Structure 1
């Protein structure tokens, strides 16, 4: 049996149930590896959740001789009737065929150790169950709200805390970009049925998550009661968005790798130059004219030496293509090379591959927004009009990727149907 004294916290003076919280494990002289709290000859509500189908069967657990006996810092005197009315888990334990119910009936008193329950959260839950609403705080931190969500799932009593979850969440509007905090919010929203917060959390995971929710929760010191159907659906949506973005870029590159010509030019562009007669040479051009570079052409007549650089520019007025098809092919080649080079610079080539480790949808889309695809048409005509719609089409496609998140209603239906 766990060591405890008389209750040091009185919730119900006429109570018959002492809940033991906040265990301190003495150092064992036999083993330094012992970390399990001895729960004595009675089972905790943790065990009853998994065994409600065997409510008429008493289960005894004999403590190991090597395990140190925990000392509980908090002993809370409560009403077994209140706890049973509020929680079907406590009802099964205290009014069924388990040893706890037998002990309570025979002696009129019962101690139940709860080594896994967060003490602060359990005290709030107990106060709410016993109608001590003035003792329930109006503002709590995210961690404590998470622990309350864990407890209401464990003891199946979310309605006990109404309407406090709405009050608490309104005072916690500053969300961080921590994946662990988002997982906490998802758990809170699921347990207390907070629609807006659930949608917000799922949208964050879909847009900014870099790993699956199960991996995030595995790094935490406790388990979050979020149904696996929900976490699996969330991960499917996250990966689906990333896959679509990668596919858009892959299809664009493949399109220009294909032998079919994509450039739509109907004629070879002319290079437009300013009228050389109306333009005076720049100081740099004049210095070139005075340099030895232009002294290597003694056959030039004097009329051409007035503005030799301008005359030189004027002579290059068209490209030496014998057919427009060849020009269009080179335009496509330039676009493909420019796009691929830009993808390499931005870390998008080789293309990201499943499971897209370290990639989030937002980080991928931000990189894709930086892509460039230069081509001969736009370069020679010096206009942004002739871009063949490549980058605009790319950006339009990625803007249409679904980032709407999941609604609480849809997920409740998903879990209800499975």
Structure 2
């Protein structure tokens, strides 16, 4: 168990490859960062019933990556010293998808804006196309422009739409 908030009132339970991670978090903090968490914890759903610092209920999030969810929680709980300084483009794409899923792009915006700067300047690196998805989902118009401009200018002959979409169909087809 990781106490993202030692006074947390809910335990997020994440499972990956039969390994379980539990994150003690503040439902209030998550509701401020995400309308999805706000709906989840407002009391109308089972997840929002019986929130308590004494015996925090467990909320299972079986589809979410434990490392990336912990990163999201560290950001929303303002635990800067626990946030990675760099993410691979693949992890950054997965993180952007997670943030889009929970509608918390605004809460992580400064971190993602910082993380994309380094790979943005390296258009020849593998998976550069993923920056199209990342900047699109994270509402980074200037970075989106830069990424697409570099792809068209520097790699027009070898753009892989499947790499850009990262296995999802978030991007409008006309972008690819």
Shorter-chain TM band = 0.7 to 0.9
In structure 1, the partner of 2:170 is 225
In structure 2, the partner of 1:175 is 123
- Structure-2 separation of matches of 1:194 and 1:108: 40
In structure 2, the partner of 1:115 is 62
In structure 2, the partner of 1:92 is 39
What number of residue pairs does the alignment pair up? 171
**Is residue 127 from structure 1 mapped to residue 68 from structure 2 by the alignment?**
no
- Structure-1 separation of matches of 2:40 and 2:31: 9
Deviation at 1:153, TM superposition (A): 0.3
Which 4+ stretches in 1 moved above 4 angstroms? 217-220
SS of the residue 2:58 aligns to: strand
Higher strand share: 2
- Structure-2 separation of matches of 1:12 and 1:177: 38
Deviation at 1:148, TM superposition (A): 1.6
SS of the residue 1:104 aligns to: coil
Instruction: Map residues 12-411 of structure 1 onto 2, 5 A cutoff.
Output: 12-25=5-18, 72-104=19-51, 109-172=56-119, 173-176=121-124, 178=126, 181-182=128-129, 184-203=130-149, 204=151, 207-208=156-157, 213=161, 216=162, 220=166, 222-223=167-168, 225-226=170-171, 231-235=172-176
* CA displacement, residues 218-271 of structure 1 (integer Å, 9 cap, x when unaligned): 995x42633xxxx22224xxxxxxxxxxxxxxxxxxxxxxxxxxxxxxxxxxxx
SS of the residue 1:75 aligns to: strand
Deviation at 1:135, TM superposition (A): 1.6
In structure 2, the partner of 1:53 is none
SS of the residue 2:49 aligns to: helix
Structure 2: unaligned runs, 5 residues or longer: none
Contact 1:21/1:113 (<8 A) preserved: yes
- Structure-1 separation of matches of 2:168 and 2:57: 28
- Structure-2 separation of matches of 1:165 and 1:109: 30
In structure 2, the partner of 1:272 is none
CA RMSD across the alignment: 2.8
Structure 1 residues 24 and 101, CA gap change in structure 2 (3 angstroms)? same
Contact 2:14/2:22 (<8 A) preserved: yes
- Higher RCO by CA contacts (8 Å cutoff, separation 6 or greater): 2
Deviation at 1:177, TM superposition (A): 6.2
In structure 2, the partner of 1:377 is none
TM-score (norm 1): 0.37
Contact 1:150/1:224 (<8 A) preserved: no
* CA displacement, residues 93-119 of structure 1 (integer Å, 9 cap, x when unaligned): 1114212223437x9522112222122
* CA displacement, residues 145-193 of structure 1 (integer Å, 9 cap, x when unaligned): 1122111101111121232222212222323365x540x2111111223
Structure 1 residues 131 and 208, CA gap change in structure 2 (3 angstroms)? same
